[in-house]
Chain A
Amino acid sequence: MKAGGKAPARAGCSVGPSGDQGPRLSALEPDTSCWNHLNWRCSVRGAYEVEALEARLTERGLAVRCRHAALRIFRHPDGHEIDLVLTTGRVQLRVDIGQPEDQRTQVAHALHGTLSEALEGRGEGQDPAKGQGQA
C-alpha cells in the first residue's frame, strides 16, 4: 500500500501522486498542543510504501502503537510519538511529556530527521532522537 501527498491510501492499492520523486517531509512547525512545545506538525509529500516505512522505523527502535486503516502511531523508546495520517499525509510529532521544556524543540527536530530518513529509505545510522535528555 502506498500513501502520501493528497492521494488517499486504500488497502490493497498502490496510490500516490503521479510522477512524484519520492516522499519528502515538509518543514516542522508548532502544532496545537496540550502542553508547551510538545506537539509539532509537518506533512509527507509524495508517495511511499507504508509497510516499508513501518519496517524502517521499527529498525530505528520505534514500535507501532496504533494501526488503523487511516492512521499509524509510532512510539519511540523514549516515549515520543509519530502520528501519521495515511489518507492526507499529515504528521504530528509528539515529544514525551517527561522531556525538559528547553529540550523539546531539539527532540522534535531529531524526530523529524528520523522520519525523514525513514521515508527516503536512507540507512539506519544513529537515531538522532536518542540522547536528547531524560524522558
Chain B
Amino acid sequence: MQHIEQLLSALPEHDLTFLGSAPYVYHCHHFNLFHDQTVEDALGEDEAFSVRAQAAHDASRQLLSELVKSAGAETPAERLELAAATLPWMGHGKLELMTDAGGGRARGSYLHYGFTWREKYGSRVRRRHPADAFAAGYAAAATEVAFSLAPGSLRATEPACFACREPACEIEITEGGGHSDASLVDKEAFTQHVAAPAEGVEEAAVAKIAAGLKDFLRGLDGDERGLLQGFGVYVTRHLANYYDQTAYDTIHRVEKERPQVAGVVESLFGESGHVCVFYTFGGILASPEWEALVGPLRGEPEEIVVGCTAIARGLGFGHWTIGELVPGERLVMRSTSNYEAPFYRNRYGRSEKPRCYFFSNAARAFMQLAHKVDWSKRPRLDDALYQSLFKSDLAWDIEMTRCQTRGDALTEVVVTRHGS
C-alpha cells in the first residue's frame, strides 16, 4: 500500500503519528466497541449513528483528500480504488464502492465494527441496529472526494449489517448530508497544543521499549480480509479525530440537553481507558512478541507501569511519562502530548474542567494491572477477569490535577489507593 505509506509521518518526540495531516493511533476492537457503545448509550441508537458517521466522514475526508492528491489520482475510478484499498490497510475490513456523484451503495466485508461486534457479542445478544457508522461515513467521504463534491454533499446509512446477522454489510450513500462546519484538526493544529517533551521516571527503559514497539508495529501487514493482527490482538490504525469528535460532541450534547447524566457519560468515556489498557495493553504484555522484544514478564508493579507507559507511546497516544511511582500507593502520570487535548483545544477552545478522560483512566488501569493481576499465573484476560478487576475490585482513585484541555502546560493525573 505504497500511497498510504508515503503519507505516514510522526512527531517522534511527542510520540504522535499521522497519516498526512490526520492523527492516527492503534486501538483494538474491545476499545472501539466500548467507545461506540458509550455514544449509543448517551444519545440513543439513531442519533449516535449520525454522530459517529459524521465524525467518520469528517476525519476520513481529511485523510482521503490528501491521499488522492499525494497519489496523483485524477479520475473518480482511481480515487474510489484508492479509498477502497486504504480501509483494509487501516484494519477496518473491505468496502466495495459502487457510487457516482449522486451517491450509490457500498458492500462491506469484515467491516471492523460489525464483524467484531458479532464475534464478541453475537452468540449472546441479538443486535437490531447497524454497527458500521465509521464505514458509512468513510464511504460518503470517499465518494465526495472521488467526484470532487463539497463537504457534506452526501450522507450514508447502513440498511444491512453483519452484526445484525445479515450475510454482509450494505451501505447506502444519498445526497443531502448537510454542510459540516467542523474545523480541521491537523498536524499543525496538534503542534500548537503540546508541550516540550519531558523525561519521567525510568525514561531510558520506557523510551527503549517504545522504540521497539514502534518498529514492530510499522511492520504489521493487514491480511486479505483487511484485518490487522499484532501481539495476539486485532487492531485498527484508526483516525484519532474520530474518537475525539464522537466523545466530545456526545458529552457536549448531553451537558446541554441532560446535564444530570453528564457525569455518567464522562465516566463511561473514562472507562474506555480501562477497557483499552486491560485488553490491548494487557494483551501486548502477555504476548509472545513482548516476551521476544522485552523479555518474560515478571509482574512487578514498576515493570508493568513502565511497560504500559511505553505501550502508550508505541501506539501513538502521545508522550506519556511516569512522574512518580510508589508501588502499592501512588502513581503520578503526566503527558506533554496526547491525542485528546489538542483536538479539544482546536475544536472547542479552552475547557473549564479537565477533559482528558482516556488518559486519566488509563493511568488508573495501569495501577490495577500492576497490583491486582498475578502475571506469574498467566491470567486469561477475558471478560470475567475484566469484570472482577474493574467493576468490583477497583482499588484506585484518580484526580486530574492538570489538563491541557483546560490550558495547563501539561496533563497530569494522580492515582492513589482508595481511602488513602
Whether A32 touches B227, Cβ cut-off 8 Å, given contacts A41-B378, A97-B234, is no
- CB neighbours (8 Å) of B12 from chain A are none
List which A1-27 residues lie within 8 A (CB) of chain B.
none
Please report the total number of B residues contacting A with Cβ < 8 Å: 32
Asked whether, in the complex, the Cβ of A79 is within 8 Å of the Cβ of B223, the reply is: yes
Chain B CB within 8 A of A33 CB? yes
Quick one: given A32-B381, A34-B232, are A92 and B287 in contact (CB under 8 Å)?
Answer: yes
* Alpha-carbon distance A86/B293, docked complex (angstroms): 11
Are B234 and A34 in touch, CB under 8 angstroms? Answer: yes
Tell me if B90 counts as interface (CB < 8 A to partner A): no
- What size tier do the contact residues of chain A reach? 20 to 34
Name the segment of B136-144, B169-177, B278-286, B308-316 touching the other chain: B278-286
Return the chain A residue nearest B290 by Cβ: A85
Residue of A nearest to B116 (CB): A35
The answer to whether A32 touches B225 (Cβ under 8 A) is no
Q: Find out whether the CB atom of B229 lies under 8 angstroms from the CB atom of A94.
A: yes
Measured between alpha carbons, how far is A89 from B234 in the docked complex, in Å?
24
- Chain B residues whose C-beta falls within 8 Å of the C-beta of A91 in the assembled complex: 288
CB pair A34–B292 under 8 Å, yes or no, is no
Q: A30-B380, A32-B380 are in contact. Are A97 and B119 (CB under 8 A)?
A: yes
Q: B283 and A66: CB pair below 8 A?
A: no
B263 CB–A CB distance under 8 Å? no
Residue of B nearest to A81 (CB): B229
Complex Cα distance, B225 from A39, in Å, reads: 19
The residues of B that contact A34 with a CB separation of less than 8 Å are 28-30, 232-234, 279, 283
The contact string, 1 if C-beta is below 8 Å from chain B, for chain A 59-92, is 0000000101011000000010101111110111
- The reply on B296 being an interface residue by CB < 8 A is yes
Query: Is A35 a contact partner of B288 (Cβ separation < 8 A)?
Result: no
Closest residue of chain B to A79 (Cβ to Cβ) is B223
Query: Is A98 in contact with chain B by the CB < 8 A criterion?
Result: yes
How far is it, in angstroms, between the C-alpha of A89 and the C-alpha of B227 when the chains are bound? 27
CB-CB under 8 A for A88 and B296, given A33-B380, A34-B283, A79-B223 = yes
In the bound assembly, the distance between CA atoms of A87 and B293 in angstroms comes to: 10
B291 near A90 with CB under 8 A, answer: yes
- A90:B288 contact, CB within 8 angstroms: yes
| B102 beta carbon closer than 8 Å to chain A | no
> Please, how many angstroms separate the alpha-carbon atoms of A70 and B379 in the complex?
23
- Residues of chain B contacted by A41 (CB below 8 angstroms): 378
Contact, CB under 8 Å: B232 / A39: yes
| Residue numbers in B under 8 Å from A83 (CB-CB) | 232, 287-289
User: What CA separation (Å) do A111 and B295 show in the bound complex?
Assistant: 25
- Give which listed residue, A30, A33, A79, A92, contacts B288 with CB less than 8 A: A92
Verify if B419 is at the interface (C-beta below 8 Å from A). no
Q: Does B219 contact A (CB under 8 A)?
A: yes
The minimal Cβ–Cβ distance linking B234 to chain A, given in whole angstroms, is 6
Residues of B within 8 A of A90 (CB): 288, 291, 296
Contact surface of B with A, Cβ cutoff 8 Å: 28-30, 119-120, 123, 216, 219, 223, 225, 227, 229, 232-234, 279, 282-283, 286-289, 291-293, 295-296, 378-382
A–B complex contacts, Cβ < 8 Å, 25 sampled? A30-B380, A31-B378, A32-B282, A32-B286, A32-B380, A33-B232, A33-B380, A33-B381, A33-B382, A34-B233, A34-B283, A39-B232, A41-B378, A68-B216, A71-B289, A71-B293, A83-B232, A85-B291, A87-B295, A88-B296, A91-B288, A92-B287, A94-B229, A97-B234, A101-B123
* 8 tightest Cβ-Cβ pairs between the two chains A and B: A71-B292, A70-B292, A34-B233, A32-B286, A83-B288, A92-B288, A85-B292, A85-B288
Given pairs A33-B232, A33-B380, A94-B232, 7 additional interface contacts (CB within 8 A): A32-B282, A32-B378, A39-B232, A70-B293, A71-B292, A84-B288, A90-B296
